[in-house]
Chains A and B, each alone.
Chain A
Amino acid sequence: MSQSCLDCARRSDRVFCDLEPDALQEFDGIKSFQTYPRGSVLFREGETAHSVFLVCQGRVRLTVCSESGRRMTLRIVPAGEVLGLSAALSGGRYEVTAEVMEAVETAEIPRKELLQFLREHREVCMQVVNQLSEDLHVAYDRVRAVGLTRMRHTPMHGAAH
């Protein structure tokens, strides 16, 4: 795959990447192209959100972790999606851990540059809102699956300890 967004053949299929020429040019200037082998961690839950990662190729697993170290998969993210968006926008910490399942190619954008970019290109801001809405739908589905399945298995009495 091309390291430049400008001549990327897959761009038109990807919701986030299908940008207007001037926005694309600028996006290409602020992103850094990276490859990561299977098993690498793009970011960990609890770390201050420093960047977002656009997955150009490969798949990434998002997990959440309990204090005691138990881990649960939230979802598997395919190419074309942006990771770490909500944490970067709210200026908080990553809510999940992103681990590479299949070697990935990513476009990494530091948080500050992303915020500046979004201020200058309002049409992209709408794309971000769209992606966040999709992420939220998936997260709610997960809450439904996890929360209500467990409830059904919780006995009515004496389930506390």
Chain B
Amino acid sequence: MLSPYGLDIIESCLTCKMRAERLFCDLPTAALQSFESIKYATAYPKGAVLFVEGQAPRGIFVLCKGRIKLSICASDGKTLILKIAEPGEVLGLSAAVSGKAYELTAETIDPCQVNFVKREDFLRFLKEHSDACFKVAEQLSEKYNVACHEVRSLGLSHSAAEKLAKLLIEWSSKNGESLKQEPRLKLSLTHEEIAQMIGTSRETVTRLFADLKKRQILQAKGSTLVIRNKAALRTLATTG
């Protein structure tokens, strides 16, 4: 079914072609059938908020298509982006399991398809299907890993330059680009959003990019960035 947001909605998990590639979704048939009966397939436009930090947990959201920005917020409105979630990731997991409030805010950055499952249904599903329980444990482990990485980066990096260099290296390590002499990466976030990922201001990010380009470490080709000098970027990532 083609939705108003241009998404090709996958109605049933049982016939989903992408299932095998997705960490959570690759479940045994019995578990998958049971999941199918408790999930609601929903579509959201860009900029929709799935849940807000501090809200009581209603359930979990399996991201089928699109990308979602996960952020935390200070009382003065400053935002820190923790992660950009990709398809296959389950959002709101720890809150749904523990019954505590959502710790993050989830906002779509593309039109997204999301499968929602109510908290009570999800907990019962986990008790009945140990394979799914295992996958949830794996996802939570992965999220813990990301959170520790974030604490390390935010708490122990010396400078915004160091954090930006680390972020660019991390992004360029996807899709085997890092093996190339001059890795390329598609910049899909604004300077404001990048600033929110590394805990600095938009102005600093813009200035750092200008500096990296001036020093010929980076080159911009439209929205694609080419890393011209990998070694210099790595040095920056370790020494700031």
Contact = CB atoms under 8 A, between A and B. Distances in A.
B161 interface: yes
Contacts of A70: 156
B137 A125 contact: yes
B97 interface: yes
Contacts of B238: 67-68
A74 interface: yes
Interface stretch (A17-25, A102-110, A133-141): A133-141
Nearest to A66: B156
Contacts of A90: 138, 141-142, 145
Interface residues of B, number: 54
A132 B151 contact: no
A20 B216 CA distance: 63
A128 interface: yes
Given A90-B141, A152-B78, A160-B159, A129 B150 contact: no
A72 B103 contact: no
Given A64-B152, A65-B156, A157 B98 contact: no
Interface in A52-102: 64-68, 70-72, 74, 85-87, 89-90, 92, 95-96
Contacts of A125: 130, 133-134, 137
Interface in B146-186: 147-152, 154-161
Interface of B: 72-74, 76, 78, 80, 82, 93-95, 97-98, 100, 103-104, 126-127, 130, 133-134, 136-138, 140-145, 147-152, 154-161, 199-201, 203-204, 207-208, 211, 238-240
Given A129-B137, A152-B78, 10 more contacts: A74-B148, A92-B145, A133-B98, A142-B147, A143-B151, A147-B72, A148-B199, A152-B76, A157-B203, A159-B200
